[in-house]
Amino acid sequence: MVYFDALKDIKRKRLDTAYLIYGTESYLIQDIQQAIIENGLTEEEQEVNLSVYDLEEFPIQEVVMDAETFPFFGDKKILLCKNASIFKAKPDKGQVEHDVNVLQAYLDNPVDHSIMVFIAPYEKVDERKKIVKQLKKSGKVVSCQALKEYEMTNWIQSLASDLHIRIDSPAIDILIQENGTNLMALGNEMEKMALFVGESGTITIEVAEMLAAHNAQASALKLVDAVITQNIGRAMMIYKDLEKQNEEPIALLALLASQFRMIQQSKLLSQKGYTQQRIAQQLKAHPFAIKMALKREKGFTNAQLNAITQLLAEGDAAMKQGKMDKKLSFELLLYNLIHVKK
């Protein structure tokens, strides 16, 4: 089961007796974990009926024994089991010996008053294992992997709904452009903007551009856009803002070069008939980054991109050889890049 489907069921209070949550996206794992706790127990119940076990320190037999014990207060208890490597093909070696047969027997006939939650922060679990198959039968196995491009948009819209606000599509693009696929950063940005627009408010592109925490890589994309629109004034303004943040011209040139390289490579592959997904696989880049590169490549001819690549190489050499002041050299480079299109 994927994250979105599991979360939907949990929020409707359709809770299972056991969960195995695995994957490399820690934010999603924490989100599912917290949703189970909040929808399974009241705040008062959490104080006495929420037990946390580290399976590197406690054997699974002890967890099962606790699960079979009635809650001290309330109708339910939750047992949160971290570092659940017992579900991997090769469990981590440790001092604790787990008798998986005890868990297997429990899952054959789980009690109604306990919810077991196993956290396995690993890329894969071994679905051939009997214990994993049994957990699928008795509960839910939830995958929390890095989100695909369309899932990122769905996730942000879902978060906006949870925050009782709306967000426009162009604003979503700004957020992803500034934060990439860092869900923790995206979540923090959404909460900040939700406070700004207030309940039932809307995050517009203007709000997103005004409030989004800016980073050098996203600013490099804005410099690319300034080159496309031949807006030297905007290019210089972006550069001066970066200069105030003590960004080094050589580092900015490298970021700019990487963006133009992706644009050029995406254009060439697109001309060969490659789809967006295939280009992302070929270049080992996130689909959203390729989507933006394909959008921008339409603003350049192949000849212009070749000329830009040459200018970037010359600018890099000039800075590193100390032929000119680095700041002045970068400003001149921006001027020349914009005039490639004229």
Q: Which two tokens stand for residue 232?
A: 């030297």
Predicted pLDDT of residue 217: 63
Q: Give the global pTM.
A: 0.65
pLDDT(218) > 70: no
Neighbours of 53 (CB within 10 A): 21
Q: What is the mean pLDDT of residues 187-192?
A: 91
Percent of the chain surpassing pLDDT 90: 53
Q: Out of 74-83, 98-107, 177-186, which region has the weakest mean confidence (pLDDT)?
A: 177-186
The answer to whether the CB of 147 falls within 8 A of the CB of 31 is no
Report the alpha-carbon distance of residue 115 to residue 41 in Å, rounded: 10
Its CATH class, for the domain covering 149-211, is mainly alpha
pLDDT(222) > 90: no
Q: Which two tokens stand for residue 273?
A: 């008939």
Predicted pLDDT of residue 95: 78
Neighbours of 296 (CB within 10 A): 20
pLDDT(240) > 80: yes
Q: What is the mean pLDDT of residues 272-297?
A: 88
Q: Note the pLDDT tens digit of each residue in 142-175.
A: 999 888 777 888 899 989 998 999 999 999 988 8
User: How big is the chain, counted in residues?
Assistant: 342
Q: Which two tokens stand for residue 82?
A: 């971290």
pLDDT(114) > 90: yes
Domain residue spans of the chain: 3-143, 149-211, 216-339
Closest-CA residue to 3 (of 17, 26, 13, 18): 26
Q: What is the mean pLDDT of residues 108-119?
A: 95
Q: Which fold has domain 216-339?
A: Zinc Finger, Delta Prime; domain 3 (1.20.272)
| Helix pair 249-271, 287-297: axis angle to 10 deg | 80
Report the alpha-carbon distance of residue 10 to residue 323 in Å, rounded: 62
Percent of the chain surpassing pLDDT 70: 98
Predicted pLDDT of residue 4: 86
pLDDT(300) > 80: yes
Q: Note the pLDDT tens digit of each residue in 28-78.
A: 999 999 999 999 999 889 989 999 999 999 999 999 999 999 998 888 999
Q: What is the mean pLDDT of residues 263-279?
A: 94
Q: Which residue is it, tokens 């490659």? A: 274
Reduce the secondary structure of the chain to three states and give it as a string.
CEHHHHHHHHHCCCCCCEEEEECCCHHHHHHHHHHHHHHHCCHHHHHHHEEEEECCCCCHHHHHHHHHCCCCCCCCEEEEEECCHHHCCCCCCCCCCCCHHHHHHHHHCCCCCEEEEEEECCCCCCCCCHHHHHHHHHCEEEECCCCCHHHHHHHHHHHHHHCCCEECHHHHHHHHHHHCCCHHHHHHHHHHHHHHHCCCCEECHHHHHHHCCCCHHHHHHHHHHHHHCCCHHHHHHHHHHHHHCCCCHHHHHHHHHHHHHHHHHHHHHHHCCCCHHHHHHHHCCCHHHHHHHHHHHCCCCHHHHHHHHHHHHHHHHHHHCCCCCHHHHHHHHHHHHHHCCC
The answer to whether the CB of 142 falls within 8 A of the CB of 1 is yes
pLDDT(342) > 70: no
What is the residue-averaged pLDDT of the chain?
89
pLDDT(194) > 90: yes
**3-143 has which CATH code?**
3.40.50.300
Q: Out of 222-231, 280-289, 327-336, which region has the weakest mean confidence (pLDDT)?
A: 222-231
First-last CA distance in the chain: 53
Q: Out of 122-131, 185-194, 318-327, which region has the weakest mean confidence (pLDDT)?
A: 318-327
